[in-house]
């Protein structure tokens, strides 16, 4: 096995980073930090749900917002159900729907 450019050193080209497109100077540092595979997101989500050192601080920050969202959602569902039953029991709507009743056509 020879150590030429077509030998083991040819694999070095696999690890060289391709030249990047023009990146503004303000975003140069950010573009260097974003070199991770998309599957790393799954690793991050897994760690967020399983690692207590990550889970506790994240939940402490979001607890109030989650509680507020659940309360607003419950109020929204309650009002929607009330409005829906009010609309379906209304004479205006049910009176208009009587023209589609096949029993009264004959």
Can you give the residue ranges of every domain in the chain?
Answer: 24-104
pLDDT of amino acid 1:
47
Q: What is the DSSP letter of 4?
A: S
% the chain with pLDDT above 70: 58
SS3 state of residue 82 = helix
Please state, as a whole number, how many other Cβ atoms lie within 10 Å of the Cβ of residue 55. 13
Whole-Å CA distances, 12 to 5, 19, 71: 10, 15, 57
CA distance 24 to 54: 33
pLDDT above 60 for 27: yes
**pLDDT tens-digit profile of 56-86?**
988 888 999 999 999 999 999 988 888 877 7
Q: Which pair of structure tokens corresponds to residue 72?
A: 């607003």
The rounded Cα 3 to chain-centroid distance in angstroms is 50
Query: Cα–chain-centroid distance for residue 10?
Result: 41
Question: pTM for this one?
Answer: 0.42
Asked if 47 and 40 count as a contact pair (C-beta separation under 8 A), the reply is no
């Amino acid at each position: 096995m020879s150590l030429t450019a077509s030998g083991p050193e040819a694999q070095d080209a696999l690890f060289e980073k391709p030249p990047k497109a023009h990146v503004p100077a303000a975003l140069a540092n950010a573009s260097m930090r974003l070199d991770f595979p998309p599957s790393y997101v799954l690793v991050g989500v897994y760690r967020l749900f399983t690692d207590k050192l990550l889970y506790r601080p994240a939940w402490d920050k979001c607890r109030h917002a989650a509680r507020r969202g659940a309360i607003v959602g419950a109020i929204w569902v309650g009002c929607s159900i009330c409005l829906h039953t009010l609309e379906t029991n209304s004479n205006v709507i049910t009176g208009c729907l009587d023209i589609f009743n096949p029993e009264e056509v004959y």
